Amino acid sequence: MFFYLSKIFWFFATPSNLLAVISLAGLALLVSGRHRLGRAIAAVGILGILIVGTTPLSRFSMRLLEDRFAPVQSLDDGSIAGVIVLGGAVGMKHGQVKFTDAAARMTAAMELARRLPEARIVFTGGSASLMDEGYTEADVARALFTSVGMREENVLYEDRSRNTRENALFTRDLVEPQPGERWLLVTSAYHMPRAVGCFEAVGFNVVPYPVDFHADGKASDFFRPFFAVSEGLRLADLSTKEWIGLLAYRLMGYTQRLLPGA
């Protein structure tokens, strides 16, 4: 039930959707003759789109998430038992693998598989769609990894999970981590706090390996505006979803801390 309710709620809570609905509601009131109220509501929606889409607010929100875990600069390769790669990076269109904006998760997985030939690689991702698409992300990942020559005997696929909580739960049950083992967790930097929190909550301690950074990590992030409204709105959608997810998961008991990380 939580999965379905979260999908419905998020449709209306997405900043770009919410601001568009507010703007359209204002225009509808204008057309219906309620000019004063319509102008006020339309102005709120349009100004909201401009402010969120052009100012550094969404980059600042994203930066707060991404700064929780720093990029990994070096690894003791021999001490890594395995690599866990979270879904959300691939799909299928016309029978071909399609990458999302989080494609860096997959490129990192392939690079780590090359660098750590003895480590187990675990891809975790079922279907996060409300409709049956006829395939899971694990199916797509299998096709991709096989096509680039990754050693099949070293790769495990978890294909039931629909959200981050289930990623952690089902992966733990699949690999049965042993005391002292070190497992890397690969996901987008902005998503890493919630992911780490979920794995901690199920008793699976992981080493964060954040990728797919959206903020530059420079002081200029806080002052540089966007020159495409769509880019600012896109970052606002991503970061807002994550902040709401962090709060919801904490309230549901899926994590033990509101904002895991440094």
Dmax over Cα atoms in the chain, in whole Å?
Answer: 71
Cα–Cα dist 124/121, whole Å: 10
Q: Which has more pLDDT, 133 or 210?
A: 210
- Mean pLDDT value across the chain: 93
Residue 29 CA to residue 7 CA, distance in Å, equals 28
Distances in Å between the Cα of 212 and the Cα atoms of 23, 62, 108, 161 are 32, 12, 9, 21
How would residue 219 be classed by pLDDT, with cut points 50, 70 and 90? confident
Q: In this predicted structure, what is the pLDDT of residue 131?
A: 64
pLDDT at 45: 97
The percent of residues in the chain predicted with pLDDT above 90, rounded, is: 81
Structure confidence at residue 256 (pLDDT):
96
Higher pLDDT, 221 or 21: 21
**Structural tokens at position 172:** 């733990």
pLDDT of residue 8: 80
Confidence of residue 183 (pLDDT cuts 50, 70, 90): very high
Query: What confidence tier does 13 reach under pLDDT thresholds 50, 70, 90?
Result: confident
Q: 77-211 has which CATH code?
A: 3.40.50.620
Give me the mean pLDDT over the 31-44 stretch: 96
Mean local confidence (pLDDT), 205-212: 97
Which helix (H) or strand (E) segment holds residue 157: the answer is strand 155-158
Hey, where are the domains in the chain? 2-66+222-252, 77-211
pLDDT category at 216 given cuts 50, 70, 90 is: confident
pLDDT at 130: 59
164 and 188 Cβ atoms separated by less than 8 Å = no
- Say whether pLDDT at 1 is over 70: no
d(CA 158, CA 126): 7
In a 3-state reduction of DSSP, which class is residue 151? coil
Average pLDDT estimate for 68-84:
89
CA nearest to 183, candidates 109, 106, 83, 260: 83
Kindly state the average pLDDT of the residues 52-73: 94
